[in-house]
């Protein structure tokens, strides 16, 4: 079975996307006769490449004229598939990967599936595992028709390194692309700089149990003083109590800090998937029956603001102690 990994060089999360694909490759790459990297780029031809966990047979660098137009990518992919047929294409976990996987499979009469957590070859059939029912269950499917187009599931942040790949066969592909005539005007408004939330060691995630924007603001302050990054559940973001780039869960960020404090979140399936691989989870909720306690290591039944304000005090006192003890040692050395 021939496989290709389809990625865009210019995306901000390329290294993370490759990490996610690598996880998938670990279980299946032995079944492949060859693995190619199909890498789209816009202006500058890539010189460094993300570290992929299995040997590559080939890298195809594909120039795309209009980076915002899925149609351009699709045309290129259809063309490439005509020239170099591939049995399995793996796409990134982002919206672009999902769109391309779905639409390409449709155009080529193949099978596609998104948010794939695992895949394997069982007697020449491709089996995949993906979440269903709002991340409350997972399902195993056999995909029936090749080419198989998969987009992989999001995983906690662990970006791979970029390296040079000098000894590899590399091919540059430039093709004429029709312009998307239906787009009359385009403007991009850049997001604020990345928060550091996705790879933080300590994260405070707040849910609707925080009650209102004022309390959420106080909790943001507490996160700041205790040195935690701040995350939020979907209702909190939809209420505009926190920015969209703070969203944790299936449709936001998947995080795995060493320590995650989940405060006032009820713990729905779509939320829990966002934090469940954290090293240690502390849950605080007024409702002792809240589902969040099922994935927590330690639970406190109580008012979120009250407990966190006290925790802030404790941490500040401890910090003071440490600082003053350092001061003491310094005094003696003088």
Binding residues among 130-149 for other proteins as defined by CB under 8 A = 130-145
Site membership for other proteins, residue 103 (CB under 8 A)? yes
Is the CB of residue 253 less than 8 Å from the CB of residue 197?
yes
Output the furthest CA–CA distance in the chain (Å, rounded). 78
Site membership for other proteins, residue 301 (CB under 8 A)? yes
**Choice from 202, 220, 221, 277 touching other proteins (CB under 8 A):** 202
The interface region with other proteins, picked from 31-39, 51-59, 159-167, 182-190 by CB under 8 A, is 182-190
Is the CB of residue 174 less than 8 Å from the CB of residue 61?
no
CB within 8 Å of 105: residues ≥ 6 apart:
111, 112, 147, 148, 149
Nearest to 175 by CA among 74, 107, 47: 74
Is the CB of residue 161 less than 8 Å from the CB of residue 50?
yes
Q: What is the end-to-end Cα distance of the chain in Å, rounded?
A: 71
The interface region with other proteins, picked from 37-45, 168-176, 240-248, 325-333 by CB under 8 A, is 240-248
Q: State which residue, 223 or 307, has the beta carbon closest to other proteins.
A: 307
Size of the site for other proteins (CB under 8 A): 105
Q: How far apart are CA 216 and CA 269, in angstroms?
A: 22
Nearest to 255 by CA among 232, 235, 237, 236: 232
Residues 311-330 that bind other proteins (CB under 8 A): 311, 313-315, 318
Give the number of C-alpha atoms closer than 13 A to the C-alpha of residue 70, restricted to the C-beta side: 11
- In whole angstroms, how close is the CB of 30 to other proteins at the nearest point? 21
Site membership for other proteins, residue 19 (CB under 8 A)? no
- In whole angstroms, how close is the CB of 64 to other proteins at the nearest point? 14
The interface region with other proteins, picked from 28-36, 82-90, 110-118, 154-162 by CB under 8 A, is 110-118
Q: State which residue, 31 or 299, has the beta carbon closest to other proteins.
A: 299
Q: State which residue, 171 or 191, has the beta carbon closest to other proteins.
A: 191
**Choice from 181, 324, 332, 333 touching other proteins (CB under 8 A):** 181
Q: Which two tokens stand for residue 159?
A: 């970006």
């Amino acid at each position: 079975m021939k496989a290709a990994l389809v990625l865009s060089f210019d995306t901000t999360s390329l290294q993370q996307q490759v990490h996610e694909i690598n996880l998938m490759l670990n279980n299946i790459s032995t079944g492949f006769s060859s693995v190619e990297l199909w890498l789209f780029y816009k202006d500058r031809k890539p010189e460094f490449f993300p570290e992929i966990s299995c040997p590559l047979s080939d890298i195809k660098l594909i120039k795309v004229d209009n980076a915002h137009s899925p149609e351009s990518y699709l045309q290129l992919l259809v063309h490439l598939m005509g020239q170099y047929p591939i049995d399995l294409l793996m796409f990134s976990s982002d919206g672009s990967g999902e769109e391309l996987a779905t639409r390409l499979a449709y155009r080529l009469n193949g099978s596609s599936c998104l948010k794939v957590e695992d895949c394997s070859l069982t007697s020449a059939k491709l089996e995949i595992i993906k979440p269903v029912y709002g991340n409350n269950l997972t399902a195993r499917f056999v995909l029936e028709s090749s080419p198989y187009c998969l987009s992989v599931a999001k995983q906690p942040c662990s970006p791979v390194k970029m390296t040079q790949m000098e000894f590899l066969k590399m091919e540059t592909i430039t093709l004429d692309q029709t312009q998307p005539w239906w787009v009359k005007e385009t403007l991009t408004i850049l997001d604020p700089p990345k928060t550091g939330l996705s790879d933080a060691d300590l994260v405070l995630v707040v849910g609707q149990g925080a009650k209102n924007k004022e309390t959420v603001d106080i909790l943001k302050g507490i996160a700041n003083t205790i040195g935690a990054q701040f995350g939020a559940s979907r209702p909190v973001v939809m209420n505009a109590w926190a920015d969209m780039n703070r969203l944790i869960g299936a449709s936001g960020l998947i995080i795995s800090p060493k320590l995650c404090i989940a405060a006032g979140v009820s713990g729905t399936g779509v939320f829990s998937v966002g934090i469940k691989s954290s090293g240690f989870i502390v849950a605080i909720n007024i409702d002792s029956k809240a589902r969040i306690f099922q994935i927590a290591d330690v639970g406190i039944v109580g008012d979120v603001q009250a407990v966190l304000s006290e925790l802030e005090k404790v941490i500040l006192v401890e910090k003071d102690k440490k600082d003053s003890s350092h001061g003491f040692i310094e005094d003696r050395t003088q």
